[in-house]
């Protein structure tokens, strides 16, 4: 339990830093939300009234204190443009982003780890070369290039899969592949490196000398000890998926948190931008916390240290 509470306490100053950084950065973005809402031709009186109604006429320090107080109480404010609570807007869009992220994770796990295991088992042979080629290509292909390429191939030319918005499982396939390919490539490389190192250990040779089946040696004895660096990559990449989803959601018109964030930035909707980034940051920090706890579960030596 001490290990758990230590990790939780470490997340608190990180979240406070994120809150502060997001607030001041969004107020540094050029543009005025009042101009975006009323237009540049609006009367000065109307502009002043709206600014006072939104609380934008107060000193920045007062706005910051008010923002911290509301956020710590669970109130993310009200959207300047939609006049709807930010929490309700995020709750409406978050399931789509989580669905996309889980699809991308599934794609990466089903492709990256088996390829990495195959490459490690056949180290230096043609399966290893094929897996290495996939890893290089996967990392080299950015989302904004891979997504349109998949749309051209599977939606336009072959007409196999739908491309726009969110609906059936078929709508998820192309966005999930687009978002999960880079993670699959990194996972493949890390699994291969970690397994090659573990398969050369003395206890693995001892297990083989006892006549254990190759599958048992690889999956039971070697894989668990090779999982810590692999889990590190998974944990870090899940956070990357949350930010990478912004581009993928734009390409596929996916109604998630990323597209909502882009809309808020364009309209200078301060509370909505702050709420979206805060949720993404909390997701990133939460995933890293779970990753740390997974270390302790896999290797008890980490808990004791």
Rg (CA), the chain: 24
Q: Supply φ then ψ for residue 85, to 5 degrees.
A: -55, 135
Distances, alpha carbon 49 to alpha carbons 46, 53, 61, in Å: 5, 6, 21
Return per-residue pLDDT of the chain as tens, 305 residues: 565 676 667 777 887 888 888 788 777 766 666 666 666 666 677 667 766 766 777 788 888 888 888 887 877 878 877 878 888 899 888 888 888 888 988 888 888 888 888 888 888 788 888 888 888 888 788 888 888 888 888 888 888 888 777 777 888 888 999 888 888 888 888 888 888 777 777 676 776 776 667 666 776 667 777 777 777 777 777 777 776 678 888 888 888 888 888 888 877 777 888 888 888 888 877 777 777 776 666 555 555 55
> Phi and psi of 125, rounded to 5°?
-100, -175
Residue 12 CA, distance from chain mean position: 20
What does DSSP assign to residue 210?
T
> What are the CA-CA distances from residue 45 to residues 48, 80, 268, 304 (Å)?
5, 18, 21, 65
- Spatial CB neighbours of 204, under 8 Å, sequence gap ≥ 6: 198, 217, 221, 222
CATH superfamily of 89-304: MetI-like (1.10.3720.10)
What residue ranges do the domains of the chain occupy?
89-304
For residue 301, give every residue at least 6 positions away whose Cβ sits within 8 Å of its Cβ, in sequence order, or none.
Answer: none
The whole-model pTM stands at 0.77
**Residues composing the chain:** 305
């Amino acid at each position: 339990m001490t290990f758990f509470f230590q990790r939780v306490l470490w997340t608190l100053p990180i979240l406070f830093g994120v809150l502060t950084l997001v607030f001041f950065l969004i107020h540094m973005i050029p543009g005025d939300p009042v101009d975006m809402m009323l237009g540049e031709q609006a009367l000065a009186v109307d502009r002043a009234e709206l600014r006072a109604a939104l609380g934008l006429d107060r000193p920045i320090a007062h706005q910051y204190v008010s923002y911290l107080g509301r956020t710590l109480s669970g109130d993310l404010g009200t959207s300047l443009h939609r006049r709807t609570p930010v929490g309700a807007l995020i709750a409406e869009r978050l399931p789509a982003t989580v669905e996309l992220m889980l699809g991308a994770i599934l794609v990466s796990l089903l492709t990256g780890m088996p390829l990495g295991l195959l490459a490690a088992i056949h180290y230096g042979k043609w399966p290893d070369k094929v897996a290495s080629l996939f890893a290089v290509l996967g990392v080299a292909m950015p989302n904004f290039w891979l997504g349109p390429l998949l749309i051209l191939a599977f939606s336009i030319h072959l007409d196999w899969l739908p491309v726009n918005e969110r609906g059936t499982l078929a709508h998820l396939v192309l966005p999930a592949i687009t978002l999960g390919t880079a993670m699959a490539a990194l996972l493949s490389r890390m699994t291969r490196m970690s397994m090659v190192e573990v398969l050369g250990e003395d206890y693995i040779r001892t297990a083989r000398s006892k006549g254990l089946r190759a599958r048992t040696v690889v999956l039971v004895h070697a894989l668990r000890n090779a999982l810590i660096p692999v889990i590190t990559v998974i944990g870090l990449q899940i956070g990357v998926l949350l930010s990478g989803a912004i581009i993928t959601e734009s390409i596929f018109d996916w109604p998630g948190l990323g597209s909502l964030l882009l809309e808020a930035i364009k309209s200078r909707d301060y509370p909505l931008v702050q709420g979206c980034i805060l949720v993404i940051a909390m997701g990133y920090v939460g995933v890293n916390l779970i990753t740390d706890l997974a270390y302790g579960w896999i290797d008890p030596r980490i808990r004791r240290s």
